[in-house]
Structure formats: structure tokens, C-alpha cells
Structure 1
Amino acid sequence: MSHDHSNAGDPLDGIAETLNRMMSAATGQMTGGLSPVTLIQSMSDWALHLATAPGRQMQLGARAAHNALRLGSYIASSANADREPAIQPLPQDHRFGDPAWKEPPFDLISQGFLLTQQWWHAATTGIGGVSRHHEAVVSFVARQLLDMLAPSNFIATNPVLQQRIAETDGRCLIEGTQLFVEDLLRLAQGQPEAGVEAYQAGKEVAVTPGKVVFRNELIELIQYSPTTEKVRAEPILIVPAWIMKYYILDLSPRDSLVRWLVDQGYTVFMISWHNPDAADRNLDMEDYRLKGPMAALDAVTAITGAQKVHCAGYCLGGTLLSIAAATMARDGDDRIASLTLLASQTDFTEPGEIGLFIDDSQLNLLDGIMWNSGYLGTARMGGAFQMLRSNDLIWSRILTTYLMGERPLVTDLVAWNADGTRMPYAMHSQYLRQLFLENDLAGGHYRVGAHTISLSALRAPMFVVGTEHDHIAPWRSVYKIHMLTGAQITFALASSGHNTGIVSEPGHPRRRYRIATRPEDGAALDVEEWADSAQPRDGSWWLAWKDWLDGHSGEPVDPPPMGAPDRGYAPIENAPGRYVMER
């Protein structure tokens, strides 16, 4: 008599899975979290297609010859003081801005480098047959190598550095070495960056008065004390990203969005996320939804008695808030008065350069790292973001600190940026795979409970903010919310980047934004058409948001009590609470 064991579990399955995970974790540790398989696939895809594209090779050869002629013409016109450079650096490239770079031979060195950089960009892009992802990876690798080899990084080819050495009689190199040793010791001892101790939560930042009125294993909810005799009937609940501490929105009093909102007559509540460790490895997106915005919304309505709440989410918090809002709409929960998304993506087809680190091979490697530790550490996430802007965040810092001997000024925003948090294994794996890689939310395949949710169910008015130079949530990606819902959307495009574009207090110099409203069920403009037609304004978008909130709020009422002990929401302790202090 035979027995069919085809459906029985193979006893080697568990061992094999463990070995695979261990190998992925070890590989990730050696490569800094980058998948060597992705790099090999990308380089092979590019090299093979370029090798079989004689026309493209001819074009690149012609471009190299043309660049050589441009540089030769520049050299030949050296006697002309008003000569035009052979090539201008990109607007965001400030490495060669000092007048010393215009003097020979450094002008030739910088011009030659910029022409080489331009050629390599052409060589790594526009090759027929190369996948978009592989092209982006190859171009990224080439840029990293060029940034590392830039003449600004070396004493022999940097006139500004040479002047600094001469002015200080070489002391700057000694001081830079001392700073390097100090930073190395701090890193080895797990200490924060030098200078960030000047901005401690609850002392210099995150100082807006308030109380922690609710706490569970994942969040603390802070209610801020009113500063006006009357407040708007609808409170504001803010859901920040949990990849960093919440106080990006409550920095120093001069640039705190929370303090500013309170002063405008709003009752403000803020979620402060727990910094997870290995014990929290199984927390997933559903845990974050239920124990995060949903638990907070229950507390806000119980404390204030409000029927409607303005909900705002920043970055990852906005994505989670969108999921929560779509679930509420599906289930008939209409407590959201309005929805504000700040630099938050809901469609991930164009996630920007962060997409370089997201494909099946890369996620398999990250899964192994997180499986081993139970979380993704702050150093690994911070390193990935730094690599996206290595010119500004790595090499220029090495030059300034360790060669010129000057410690860069630490601001409240810089200190916040060094105060990272961890990401639990289950949540981060699910987030990257279902949202970034498979784009389930925009595609209508994201499930909450037994059923899918759809952003098309959102009908509350929306205020959405993108930032012009955002490399984490590119504004064209943020804009895609127009294609996913028929709700009324006021879209504001702020100047600056992912963080500085949001922390844009009134009175800040050189701030500007564009803004336009798409009416409910109105047709959405193409993103470039929107950019051409949107009304430009000088100043802070905060003012436009305040006017918009006022227009969707009821008449002022007496401020609610701080907490509601009779409903289980007694004040626990003063803001900023306990979770923001977790390391």
C-alpha cells in the first residue's frame, strides 16, 4: 500500500530557510545592505546592451571627441579673461563655486571632471533594452564613484583646501585628524554625533507645552495646551513618520509647526511612536494602523467630544493615514473632517532614488538582515539616504571636517536627523514589498482585514504638499493622489526638500510655493500642466493651509480639557513623554 506524502512538509524546509536567512544577513553585513546580485544584474544588463548597440557606441565616441574639443577650446582661450567655461556645473553642485577654481590649473581640472561626469551620465542612460531599474542602479554607481574621485576631495587638486592649509600652517589637518578620531570613538561607543547634545527633546526642541494623554505599546498621544481663549471645534491629529522621531514638526519654538497651529486656535494632538527593538519584530502594518492612528482617533474624539477631526500625516505617516482613512471610508466611519498629506506617497510607481534599494533581490537581503536582528537599524537607513546625496552629505562633510578642520554647524534640524528610530521586521518587510515593490495600495489590491481597500472611497477634502527637491517622496509621485480619488484636492508645491520644505515657518527667507485646487470629481491635470498653471506665491505654505483649515472648520468653542480621566484618558505625564527619549 503506497502513501502520498507530496503535501507533507519537508523536514529540511526549516533548516533551509534558516540557512538562507543567515546567508542573506551575512551578505548584508559585508555589503552595507546593498545586494551584490542587483549590482551584477544591473551592470550586466547595461554592459551587454551597450556592447550590442554600435550606434550608441558611435554617439558616445562622438560625444567624447566633442568634449575634448570643448576643453581644448577652453585651454586655447586662456588669455581671454572673459572666456566662457566649457561646461557649467549642475545647479545643486557647489563644489567648484569658489573663485580659486577659476585659476589655472584648477579650472582645467574642474572643467575636465565636469565633462567626464557629463559623459558618464550619457553612457549609463538611454541605452535601448536596459530596464529602467537597472539603468538607475548603474547611473547611481557611476555617480558614487565620480563623487568619490572628485578633485575637490584631494589636497593636490583642491585650491581652496590648499589655501586653508597655508593659512593655518597645516593646523587644519591636525585639527581634522582630531575630529576624525573623536567621531570614530563616538561611533564605536554608540554615541550621537558631536553637537547634537545641544538640542535635547524636552529642553531645546519638542518643548511645546502639553500632556501625554494616552499610551499603548506602540504610541504615546500628546495633547498640546491651548494658547487662545477659543479653539476651532475640530481638533487636529498629526501622524508623523515612525522612521524618525515626531519632533520634526515640533522643533525649536521659532520653527515648530505644532506651536504655530496651537497659536492659530487649534487643539493639536501628536502621535509619538515607540522606538521598536527585537521584541517588536512581529509588529506589522495592521498593528501600526490599529494601535497608531485608529487608537489615537478614538482618544481624540473621546477627549474633545468632537464629531469630526482634521487628520494630517507626514511622509510614512501620511501613507499609513491614507490606508486608515480608506479603511474608515470602506467601513462607514466618517470621523475625518479633512485629510492633509505632507510629502507622502500613495502611488509608488515613481518612488524616486530610494527605489534604487528596492527590488526582489534587495528585499530578500533586507529580510535576512531584519530576520537576524528583528529590526532594521538606524545606521543602515541613514546610510542609504546619505548615499542618495553623497556629494552633499558624505564627501563635502569629510572635506570640511577632516581636511579643513571645521566642524559644521549643528542646527535643530540636523540634530533631529541624527535621532533615528528602528523599523520592526514584519512591518518594514510588508511596507517595502506590498507598497513600494508591488504598489498594492494604488492598484486596489491592499487588504485590511478580509477585504481590500480603495483610495477612491476617500471623499473628505484633502490638502496635499509636495516639495520641489524631495529625493525621498518626489513631488510628482506625491501628486499621483489626484489620479486615485475624486475628493477635492488642494495641492501645494513648496520650495526646498523633504524636511526643509515642510518645516517652512512664516518669515523664513526665500520660501515660496505654488498652489491650485482640483474640485471634487474634477479632472486631474497632467503633472507638468499643473506646474505651469498653479498660482505662485512667496512665503510659507503654512499660511495657505491655515486658511484652508479655517474654511473646513466650525465656529470657535471653548478649549477641551487636557485629557478625559472619566473616559480612560487621564494625563500621564508632561510632553514630550517617554517614547521620544528611547534610544
Structure 2
Amino acid sequence: MSKSDQSEVNTLGFASTTMELQKNFKQVEEIMANFAKSYEHMDLDPFNLMKSSAEWYAALAKDPQKAINANISFMQKSMELYQQSLTNLLGGAVATEPVITEDKGDRRFKHEGWEEQPAFNAIKQSYLLVSKWLRDQVQGVEGLDEHTAEKVEFFTERYLDAMSPTNFAATNPAVIEKVIETKGANLVHGLKNMLEDLETGKGELRSRMTDTSAFKLGENVATTPGKVIFQNRLFQLIQYTPSTDKVLKRPLLVVPPWINKYYIMDLQPKNSLLKWLVDQGHTVFVVSWVNPDSSYADTEFADYLTDGILTAVDVVEQATGESEINIIGYCIGGSLLATTLAYMKEKGDERIKSATFFTTMLDFSNPGELGVFIDEEQICGLEKKMSESGYLDGTQMAGTFNLMRANDLIWSFYINNYLLGNDPRPFDLLYWNSDSTRMPAKMHTWYLRNLYLENNLCKPGGVTIDGVSIDISKVDIPICFVSAVEDHIAPWKSTYSGAKLFSGDVHFILGGSGHIAGIINPPAAGKYNYRVSDQLPEDPEAWAAGATVVDGSWWPEWDRWAKAQANDQVAARNPGDRGMPIIEDAPGSYVKRTLNDINPVVPAAATDVAIQAADAPPQAAANDVRPDDLTAIKGIGPKLAGILNNSGIVSYAQLVELGSDGIKQHLLDIDARHARYDTSSWPEQARALMA
């Protein structure tokens, strides 16, 4: 701050502005008081921190020397800082050697005032010293179990993030500078922003990260040309329009996570992974999951497998006429994919010939920072909350991820929107990040317990799907894993452990950056580098040391690997070429369902019926047999329903009459590969549907 600026502060007539600010802040106090009164029933300790803190304090009390050492060090450094700060203030200059400095990656103190002005430099160093003192108190405490220790350390860091001097107007030189520049208008406008966000969040402060009005799906995000060719209760399937005359014979199915929406892979043409894949000659299909509401409360993880991926595979085969398919799974979509591959292996279904996993954990023994949110008490709390609504609200999931990077995803917007009084800027990635999805209660509970809490997926037979024992180690098709070195959601060493579960060849690629930027890294950007190797020693550090390092994006590396599996080409395929119905243009309607849309999805009747088999014309059903939707029976997908229709089985009554063994034999008479279908429950389901 210059001397002229300081003089201006002294001469500013702040009386009227101060009175107005006091009125506004009084209004905020009243709002927060009403909020607290209205939500007295709210669980204010959802992470069970009181118990963890008590355990930490008890353990620390047994080792007083640790606290004594931390206090002595803190006092010595504080005295050193006091002497230095006094000298700097008297001399008007900052010492060249500070007592303590922030980490290189800490962007909170980038304003020059933190270095050039002695008072703010002293504030910053005081904060850093207190932070170090508190970390010394909570790290490495003997007598704490590992999970409690991790939880205490994690939330101590979040507390320190919140207490940063950058988050307070009186101790942030950038904010004071803005106050002088705007005569305090930034604080007034920031207060208005806060009140708007409180109103939008219905009493909960949900800071806007971006100007959401600047984006519209299908117009300036998610614009890759394509068509929705199938939909059921769980997903829409998009087939993208080819951009090359020839395409690879094997189609490519992409399975995104349902924790968020698929268009992270299709934000803008310049960074769209889906468009790039199309341009490389792949016939690309992508699953667009529904944003579920309370009517999906009983939807299971198994439903995402049978009515999700398996159904999508049926549709891709129908749309292309190809029985050999390549597939990609991203994050939890990859966890589902691995489960599906093991399921298909057990069933003798060999249609998927290669699989790729983006930032996917299969071994959850070391889940990273997400592990602090997973224990019996917290899951029970979530189950109780989900039992009331039938789902986990998307804002809670988003809040968890934001908390893991609080300075970047919470406090930076708090400073920008409220203290500096700026309006959020348009940013496509943050628009996607704010477009949250809900989780069906039953599915989410199963997922948290079986994968995170009990780590059952990596154990042979640890989980069972529709009576099928899941053993990933039996999957022997070519596998490619793509992970990111700075990923805090799926730590790369954990994904590496999962890659070693397969019995076939595994190609492991380790890209730069994190969970999103490490995957959405187009070649034209020229960013980061990646490591790659087909050799997977036990130690991931040994793998990293021995892997080849290549500059730039990993996308071309993956494309070379995929084409090495099979590079035969055919004429380009367009959506609808084989008689598939064109429901609507991409990106479809399911992806447009926001958290404010809570009406259940009811697929149009014309798109929720069985799809005719590609290899046979439809046969007329008997006039005295009433046609039914066979896909309503769990285990019968659209392709199989079409096969049954073509063979004359069109009603629930016929299935009941045939019985389980009769249906099995009927399918075997059509094709021996149909032995993979479990028909044991079909007659009973058909009888129930007839009631």
C-alpha cells in the first residue's frame, strides 16, 4: 500500500458507509440466528469430530513431552519473529530471511503486500508459526489408531485453512486495497453476494464458483455432435457422429461415474476427450446416467451393472453389429466396469475385448483423504439421512470433494465473491463441478460399505452380484490403467494396486496433475508429461523409477495401445444406421436434470421396449398372446428381449408356462452362448408382473 493510499484511508469519510455496513451485517446476524433456530435438529458434528478430538487429547496427555517440545519450539520462533517484526516496523523494511515461509504451492499469499509490508508480513509469519505448532501437536501421536489420527490431522488442516488471515478483511492487504479503491463498495457488494447465496442455499451458504448463466448444455458445453439412441430408467446412450470416413471395427463404449456428469469429457471442442476419440476414428458411445430422485431409493449397485453396463453393451452390439467391443470406465464407473468384467467372465460373455480404467480404485486399502469420511459412525449417519430422502443430496457429495481442497474450492471463492466483492467469472470446468448429482440410497450404502469400508471388491468372491461371485483376478483381457500423479480422490499408488489384480497384460500410464486435469489433458495444450510401462513390479515407486517418461498428453499413447489390440477398419457408422431409434440430439435430456429437478424419469414408451435382434427380422406374435415388455424382468436386457420376441416369446405368461429350465433350454436352442443367462428368477418375476 503506497503512502498516498494510506493518506486516502485516513481522509476517507467512512461514517455513512460504516453505518450502512453495520445495518447489513446486523441483517446477516439475524439471518444466521434464524437459520440456527430453524435447524436446531441438524447434526452439527456429522464427522464425529468430538469423539476423535477426545481420543487425540487423551493420547497426547500420555505423552506430555511431545506437547512440551512443540511449545518450546513455538515460543523460540515466536520470540525470533517478534524481534524481527519490531526491527522491520521501526526500519520500514522486511528482513531478507523470514523466520518461516509458506510452501511454494501456497497461492494464498501471492499479493505483494504479504512480503513488502512489515505488518502483513508479521501476520503471515505468525499464522504460519501457529499452523506449524498445531500440526506438531497432532501429527505422530502415539496411542491413536490410524483412522482417528488421519481424521484429526485432516480436519486440523481444514481448521487452519479457515483461520488463514487471507479470509478476513482486516488482515488481507488485497481486500484493504480494494476497500480504498472502491470506497468500501466491494464489501457492500460482497455482502449482497453472500445474502443471495444464503437465499439460494435456503439458509446454507453455497458460494457460487462460476457464472452458471454463461453456459448451456448442447450450446457451448457438451457440443460434440451425436444422438441419443437408447434410454431406460438408469441411463441414456449417446452415439457420436463420425468425423472420419473410416472407423475402427471395434466400437468404443465409455462408462463415466454417476457421482457427477459425463460431460467433463466434453466441455469445449478444444479439450473434449470424446471429440478427440471420434476424430481418431473410434465409434464412440457414452453412458449418460440419470440424476436420480427418491423413486430410485431401492436402486442397487447391481442394477447399474445389469441394467447399466450390460444393457449398454447389448445396445452397442445392436447399433453396430459388432460382438467385440472396447470399453472405458472413469472413477467409480471403472469400479463398476471391473465388477462387470468379472461378472461377464463368470457368465462366459466375451464381448468386451479390452478395457481401460481412468483414475480407478479397485483396492481400497489406502483410499487417501477420502478415507477420513469412511467409518461405521459416519456411514450410519449417512444411512439415516438417506433414509429420509431416498438419496444422498449432490451438494453433500460436492461439499466433501471441495473440503479436500478447501483453499482452492471454498476459501478462494469466499474471498473473491464476498471480501473483494467480485462476481464469479465464467469457467466451464467449475460450471460442471457445480452441476451435482444425487446418489440412490441403497446403491450408495452398498458402495461405501463393500468397497471403502470392507474393501471387498479386490477379494476373490468378496462381493456377489445377482448370485454371481466376483473375482477380478479371472479377468484376462488386455487392460490399460490411466492414473494421475497428484490425484487426491484416487491416489495413483492405490490404483496401481488395483491394476495388479488382473491376470492379463496391463499397460499402466501415470499422467500429470490430478483427478480431472490429469485426464482432461488434450495434446494441443502441451501440458505435463506421463510415465508408461507394461512391467508392474510390486513396489509402485520402483515402477515409477523404471517407467519411460514422455512429454505431453497421454491421449496419443492410449490411442496407440487401443489400436494395437485391433486396428481393422470399416466404413464410418452413423447413429441410426442399423435401425436404432433416434430419440433426441446429444447431449440428451438426462444430463440436463439438475438438483432442482426432482420428478422421476419416465422413459417414453417407444424407447423403453425391447430392441430387435440385429441378425433376424421380427416375427409376428400369435394373435392370442398379449405382448409384454420383457425388459421389466431383471436379467433381460433389450437385446435379449428382442431375441426372445423374435423366437415367439412375447409375454410374461409364456415365461411362466415355460419355467426356468424351459427358458434356459429355449435360449440354448437359439445360441449356446446364452448359457451365461441366469433364468432361475424369471418365471417368478413374470408372475409378479402379471398380478
Q: After TM superposition, is the score higher than 0.5?
A: yes
1:124 pairs, out of 135, 138, 144, with 138
SS in 2 for 1:208: coil
2:351 corresponds to which residue?
335
Deviation at 1:560, TM superposition (A): 2.9
Matches of 1:233 and 1:293 in 2, distance apart?
20
Q: Which amino acid aligns with 1:316?
A: I
2:119 corresponds to which residue?
105
2:197 pairs, out of 164, 174, 183, with 183
| Match status 1:391 vs 2:407 | yes
1:263 corresponds to which residue?
279
1:448-474 per-position Cα deviation (integer Å, ceiling 9, x unaligned): 232421111121222211122222112
Q: Which amino acid aligns with 2:514?
A: G
2:592 corresponds to which residue?
581
Deviation at 1:342, TM superposition (A): 0.7
Deviation at 1:178, TM superposition (A): 2.5
Q: Which amino acid aligns with 2:259?
A: I
1:462 pairs, out of 470, 476, 479, with 479
1:425 corresponds to which residue?
441
Matches of 2:295 and 2:124 in 1, distance apart?
52
Q: Percent identity?
A: 38
Q: Which amino acid aligns with 2:547?
A: A
Matches of 1:185 and 1:27 in 2, distance apart?
15
Matches of 1:381 and 1:297 in 2, distance apart?
29
Q: Which amino acid aligns with 1:46?
A: W
| Match status 1:275 vs 2:295 | no
Matches of 1:181 and 1:489 in 2, distance apart?
52
**Higher alpha-carbon Rg:** 2
1:509-532 per-position Cα deviation (integer Å, ceiling 9, x unaligned): 5332222222xxxx5241222222
1:554 pairs, out of 567, 574, 579, with 567
Q: How does 1:99-498 map to 2 (within 5 A)?
A: 99-102=112-115, 103-188=117-202, 193=208, 195-444=211-460, 445-498=462-515
Deviation at 1:406, TM superposition (A): 1.4
Worse overlay, 380-389 or 52-61: 52-61
8 Å CA contact 2:473–2:501 kept in 1: the answer is: yes
SS in 1 for 2:109: coil
8 Å CA contact 2:328–2:334 kept in 1: the answer is: yes
SS in 2 for 1:545: helix
Instruction: Pick closer, same or farther for the CA change 1:563–1:399 going to 2, 3 Å.
Output: same
Deviation at 1:552, TM superposition (A): 1.4
Corresponding pairs, count: 550
Instruction: Pick closer, same or farther for the CA change 1:158–1:486 going to 2, 3 Å.
Output: same
Deviation at 1:73, TM superposition (A): 6.6
| TM-score normalised over the length of structure 2 | 0.76
1:216-241 per-position Cα deviation (integer Å, ceiling 9, x unaligned): 11011111111100001111100001
How much is the aligned-residue C-alpha RMSD, in angstroms? Answer: 2.3
1:269-316 per-position Cα deviation (integer Å, ceiling 9, x unaligned): 000011111111000000010111110011111221223211101111
| TM-score normalised over the length of structure 1 | 0.89
Matches of 2:65 and 2:203 in 1, distance apart?
55
Instruction: Pick closer, same or farther for the CA change 1:84–1:493 going to 2, 3 Å.
Output: farther
1:31 pairs, out of 43, 49, 59, with 43
8 Å CA contact 1:34–1:357 kept in 2: the answer is: no
8 Å CA contact 1:27–1:365 kept in 2: the answer is: no
Task: Flag structure 1 segments of 5+ consecutive residues without an equivalent.
Answer: 1-25
Q: Which amino acid aligns with 2:123?
A: I
8 Å CA contact 2:261–2:288 kept in 1: the answer is: yes
Q: How does 1:533-544 map to 2 (within 5 A)?
A: 533-544=546-557
2:582 corresponds to which residue?
571
Matches of 1:198 and 1:491 in 2, distance apart?
38
1:41 corresponds to which residue?
51
Matches of 2:576 and 2:84 in 1, distance apart?
71
8 Å CA contact 1:221–1:272 kept in 2: the answer is: yes
8 Å CA contact 2:260–2:435 kept in 1: the answer is: yes
Deviation at 1:90, TM superposition (A): 2.4
